[in-house]
A and B are shown apart, each in its own frame.
Chain A
């Protein structure tokens, strides 16, 4: 089975722009979660989608949003980029969304905001 894939792997944007990141979960997985990692910080939970519905949200401003499609693929959007949004963004998928479920991570998208 193919693992979780994320595109693009690297991205450079300037302040004020917006960006969309994509995550394709493992086939058959219905839950997708997004995390942000900045230098010196642990992975911070952004949000989780299950069956196209946002089920859980972390403590991030409204500039961060996401969605999930019927095939479970998920996108994350950040609008009006700030320098502090430079980070590694990871997504993770899990089979049923029924805890406790192992979450399988993708390799991440490295976003640099100039």
Chain B
């Protein structure tokens, strides 16, 4: 059974700050790591799917890295904007199925 943990639980930053969050997962049985961004009253939005150790992905000001050997992924946001305020979720796939095991998320609040 996979156990996915995210830290911190919540984060308050000022507009323009850069920030990062951590997702930890068991390194055994790893298949893929997903990042989502979830704004209140909207659908979770897929950010990245990562599979390879050392993988780095980027989408605008948001980027992510993956270390499958030690079982963690970092999500970075450069120059946070108020519209980045959301809950950021990571989810681990332990095999070649679509079953995702989610962490409880990091709630980011960006103050203008």
Contacts and interface: CB of A to CB of B under 8 A. Distances in A.
Given A41-B104, A42-B104, A43-B89, A101 B43 contact: no
Contacts, number: 74
Contacts of A90: 43-44
Interface of B, helix, strand, loop or mixed by DSSP? loop
Question: Which bracket fits the contact residues of A?
Answer: 20 to 34
A56 interface: yes
Contact of B98 (A42, A101, A105): A101
Nearest to A90: B44
Interface of B: 4, 31-32, 34, 36, 41-46, 49, 51, 89, 91, 93, 95-105
Given A42-B105, A90-B44, A108-B43, A100 B97 contact: no
B104 A45 contact: no
Contacts of B32: 99-100
30 contacts: A4-B43, A33-B99, A40-B104, A42-B4, A42-B89, A42-B104, A43-B91, A43-B100, A44-B102, A45-B99, A45-B100, A48-B97, A48-B98, A55-B98, A56-B98, A90-B43, A92-B98, A98-B96, A99-B31, A99-B95, A100-B31, A100-B49, A103-B34, A103-B46, A105-B44, A105-B45, A105-B46, A107-B41, A107-B42, A107-B43
A86 interface: no
A25 interface: no
Given A99-B31, A99-B32, A99-B96, A45 B46 contact: no
Contact of B102 (A4, A43, A48, A99): A43
A41 B91 CA distance: 13
Interface in A34-89: 35, 40-45, 48, 50, 55-56, 58
